[in-house]
Amino acid sequence: MSVGSFHKQSASTGLIMLQANARQVKGFEQFAGLLPKAILAAERRAINKTLRWLRTHIARAVGRQERIGIAAVRQRLRAYTAGSNGQGKLWFGLNPIEASRAGRVREARSGVSVAGRRYQGAFFRQVYGNKPDIWIRTASKHFNASDYPDSEIAKAGGASSGWIAENDSRFPLAKAKISLEEVRPHFESWTSKAHQRLLVVMEQELNFELHKLSRRNGNG
């Protein structure tokens, strides 16, 4: 436990690392008599509980902000512990998410709607892959690149990112996606809140270990 919690981001991912600061843990003077194994057990449970708490709250916040179903956001979040240094990690995929996963898709003659978004001129169909998505022909007068982020024109060899060449590239299509760029500024506040939560849960778990130790010694 040499450092506190922190976060870092890349072009496509965000990573929050939770770790109790050694100085802060030493501040729990009443736990000085605990065995090292008991302290490690308490720390491990505190990390796992805080990761679950953080995953739930981020999924709700992102789902609310971007109007995306919470279940779809949760699929972008991966929580795990790393090594023996008492560190927990929460990975968040920040690439644009398929609009078809945001909620219930409704298709009409004029286009497709989902989660309060309207894609005029688009259609809902299985074109590429094993499930249907929301597509639009790039030649359509309704095509707006901002509704189809993370897309590159397909090369002759096949599809690239959100684009696919239909009928030998004569009718290029773009897949509707939702950008997650607007959630990036929140990583610092999420990390801070999670670290404070970790310290609270850590104290609870240390109390639990202290109670077990007291009972084992016949003092409880």
In this prediction, residue 161 has a pLDDT band, given cuts at 50, 70 and 90, of very low
Domain check: are 154 and 200 in the same one?
Answer: no
State how beta strands 133-137 and 163-166 pair.
Answer: unpaired
Token digits of residue 160:
């690239």
Query: Could you read off the pLDDT of 51-79 as tens digits, one per residue?
Result: 999 999 999 999 999 999 999 999 999 99
62 vs 86 pLDDT, higher one? 62
Task: Count the residues in the chain.
Answer: 220
Domain check: are 38 and 90 in the same one?
Answer: yes
Q: In this structure, are residues 40 and 26 in contact, taking their beta carbons and an 8 Å threshold?
A: no
Residue 45 pLDDT more than 60? yes
Q: Is residue 119 part of a domain?
A: yes
pLDDT at 83: 64
Lowest model confidence (mean pLDDT) among 137-151, 158-172, 176-190: 158-172
Domain check: are 191 and 84 in the same one?
Answer: yes
Q: How far apart are CA 187 and CA 125, in angstroms?
A: 35
Token digits of residue 166:
């239909």
87 vs 159 pLDDT, higher one? 87
Residue 38 pLDDT more than 90? no
Taking the CB of residue 36, how many other CB atoms lie within 10 A of it?
7
Residue 142 pLDDT more than 80? yes
Domain check: are 114 and 163 in the same one?
Answer: yes
Domain check: are 69 and 174 in the same one?
Answer: no
pLDDT at 149: 84
CA 12 to each of CA 92, 93, 129, 159: distance values in angstroms, whole numbers, following the listed order? 9, 6, 22, 20
User: Which domain range does residue 46 map to?
Assistant: 6-95+181-216
Q: Is residue 1 part of a domain?
A: no
With a CB cutoff of 8 Å and minimum separation 6, the contacts of 211 are 220
Q: In this structure, are residues 16 and 5 in contact, taking their beta carbons and an 8 Å threshold?
A: yes
Domain check: are 68 and 12 in the same one?
Answer: yes
Domain check: are 197 and 163 in the same one?
Answer: no
pLDDT at 163: 45
Q: How far apart are CA 153 and CA 146, in angstroms?
A: 15
Whether pTM > 0.75 for this model: the answer is: yes
Domain check: are 67 and 123 in the same one?
Answer: no
Domain check: are 156 and 105 in the same one?
Answer: yes
pLDDT at 111: 95
Residue 151 pLDDT more than 90? no
Nearest to 12 by CA among 86, 131, 71, 92: 92
Domain check: are 171 and 189 in the same one?
Answer: no
What mean pLDDT do residues 150-175 have? 53
Q: How far apart are CA 138 and CA 119, in angstroms?
A: 13
pLDDT at 36: 79
pLDDT at 19: 87
With a CB cutoff of 8 Å and minimum separation 6, the contacts of 65 are 182, 183
Taking the CB of residue 43, how many other CB atoms lie within 10 A of it?
24
Whole-number percent of the chain with pLDDT over 90: 55
Domain check: are 87 and 15 in the same one?
Answer: yes
Per the structure, how many domains does the chain have?
2
Q: How far apart are CA 48 and CA 206, in angstroms?
A: 14
Q: Is residue 109 part of a domain?
A: yes
Residue 42 pLDDT more than 80? yes
Token digits of residue 46:
């505190």
Q: How far apart are CA 220 and CA 215, in angstroms?
A: 4
Mean predicted lDDT score pLDDT of the chain: 83
